[in-house]
A and B are shown apart, each in its own frame.
Chain A
């Protein structure tokens, strides 16, 4: 894996005029106007960046991540991955470049953590052309899986069932699975939701290390504005399925910008150590504030 500079030549992603709606996918028969999750979204993600996606509930964060992983297909618009159009790529070719860490991955069958992590080798095994059922994990696959498990500190849980471990451990195991795909881009949907402080910190440390050491491009969505402002190179602020603001931390984490999007008063000061913007909510919600923005 090459260490690409943050201002790499080919962007990791180039997204043009993307529109997407769940509605028209699932029940095409209903004649009502589809509810657009994304309407004409255009943005780009540089190679080697840590890229944060924020926005209120329902602003399209998860949809965007799934579209970037080709898990969902857009109605119109296109996504280019390192210069190649996603639509024309095979699913396993996408999976060799992009790994997605979804928000909830419940497993109902008794797979161990090792078995789960090894599933990340699937797209590569597909390329080797081994026929479906035949084909075993080779030494290289096992080595990569073990390495990823050590990286995310789940190696000691190798034989536990994925359904038996705690939320933080499961999340780390899923990240290990994603790393086993040997991706150039890692997409994470709210990687720290439901995790306690210690585990949040751990996940962030893992992501930063991978980004710095391997030049991994990281795209993550989060509700935690402070996490995003401390760790991301650039931030995409979504509102109602479109770009409200796209830029550096300083450009996006501003009181008036956030107040317009989130419709509540926020205080922005500086983080005592990093000096980066820090967001706090006022101790008492100001009712008048809501009215001001509504108007």
Chain B
């Protein structure tokens, strides 16, 4: 995917051991260019980067439409898509089985994969800035499993497959995610600042507790439902229906916009809460907004796609290495790259062992886990602040 290909490490400068947090280790710009404008984010750089990434997203989406158990060529795809756009539902039947596969199965799945990846990456960016912790991620911190528990409870109680299904389960997932986020934050805050290991430990413990509760709920279900539950927990992008997609789109856009509005304040918040306040940031308001929105997005994502790990950590990290830490660009760029990454992972999940399918959560964990360990190892001194 080239996600790791672009990383640039900056090592062995005179200052040697980087203080407790060498994170992105961006290359300090070339010598002999002391003009202040050069390293600063400009609207031109923003637009170029975003357009490039948007173009890449589109290409990956088109490519993903092609792959699968049934190969559908680009020309056919285009014909089917334009046909559907022009004639609506009635146009579908005239184009045969491949159009049904494309429009009813593959397209919604591609869109879902992209949006879930975007949401997770955007939430990761927000949480990392807020907790001043480059390893923060909704999955690692137990927010996703909190949301999953909420959703599982909702399913158990039987909000099940009604018209309101999505919103009821999503709402419970949101509540679960928000409460675990608050717990994690409280635990970490009790030390005054937020040491990285405390935060990670808090996440580990929460994950353990929530997993146990989810297991318990699963064990009380009948085998049929518990199987569905298990595969959902492993992270799946099984074809959703269009209404569910529309709801998620709304979530993503509204949530993403709210997060985007905070990005300049998030830049300042990386200095620490007190410094941020002295620079005029209404810290409490920004914090609440980001927490709330993150929980909402995590809840929405988990309720449609289960537990998909590490996207929220790996993507912002890799993007930060490539384009710098300015959140005004980092957040939207990570959202697009996150979408691309999950889409690619899901395409791999669909095709590697076709016709069998690997849960996409397995793929992201296998890709993200080692990356996480690498980050931990490369920060040795820093971790034990």
Contact = CB atoms under 8 A, between A and B. Distances in A.
B28 A123 contact: no
B106 interface: no
B14 to A, nearest CB: 9
Interface stretch (A130-138, A250-258, A286-294): A130-138
Given A108-B132, A108-B270, A109-B270, A115 B24 contact: no
A235 interface: no
A93 B277 CA distance: 11
B34 A111 contact: no
Contacts of A172: none
A96 interface: yes
Nearest to A136: B43
Contacts of A81: none
A166 to B, nearest CB: 7
Contacts of B129: 109
B24 A110 contact: yes
Interface in B19-60: 19-26, 28-30, 33-43, 46
B15 A166 contact: yes
Contact of B277 (A91, A126, A161): A91
A102 B267 CA distance: 17
Given A102-B274, A105-B272, A111-B270, A145 B262 contact: no
B262 A106 contact: no
Contacts of B36: 114, 142, 145-146, 149, 155, 158
Contact of B40 (A96, A118, A122): A118
Max count, chain A CB within 10 A of own CB: residue among B15, B23, B40, B42: B40
Contacts of A110: 22-26, 320, 324-325
B88 interface: no
A92 interface: yes
Interface in A83-102: 90-96, 98-100, 102
Given A107-B271, A126-B280, A132 B134 contact: no
A131 to B, nearest CB: 6
B13 interface: yes
Interface residues of B, number: 56
Interface in B244-269: 260-265, 267-268
A164 B42 contact: no
B383 to A, nearest CB: 12
Interface in B155-207: none
A108 B133 CA distance: 8
A66 interface: yes
Interface residues of A, number: 55
- Interface of B (DSSP majority class): loop
A163 B34 CA distance: 18
A112 B39 contact: yes
Contact of A91 (B35, B37, B281): B281
B385 to A, nearest CB: 9
Interface in B308-329: 320, 324-326, 328
B100 interface: no
B90 interface: no
A156 B384 CA distance: 33
B288 to A, nearest CB: 15
A119 B279 contact: yes
A204 to B, nearest CB: 22
Max count, chain B CB within 10 A of own CB: residue among A110, A120, A136: A110
B28 A164 contact: yes
B278 interface: yes
- Which 9 A-B residue pairings sit nearest by Cβ, starting from the closest? A108-B21, A95-B280, A132-B261, A123-B280, A92-B280, A159-B29, A100-B278, A110-B24, A109-B325
Given A115-B324, A122-B265, A132-B265, 17 more contacts: A91-B281, A105-B272, A108-B21, A108-B134, A110-B23, A112-B39, A116-B271, A119-B271, A119-B279, A122-B268, A122-B280, A132-B263, A136-B41, A142-B36, A145-B36, A163-B21, A166-B15
12 contacts: A71-B277, A100-B278, A108-B20, A115-B267, A119-B267, A122-B280, A133-B264, A136-B41, A149-B36, A158-B34, A159-B28, A163-B21
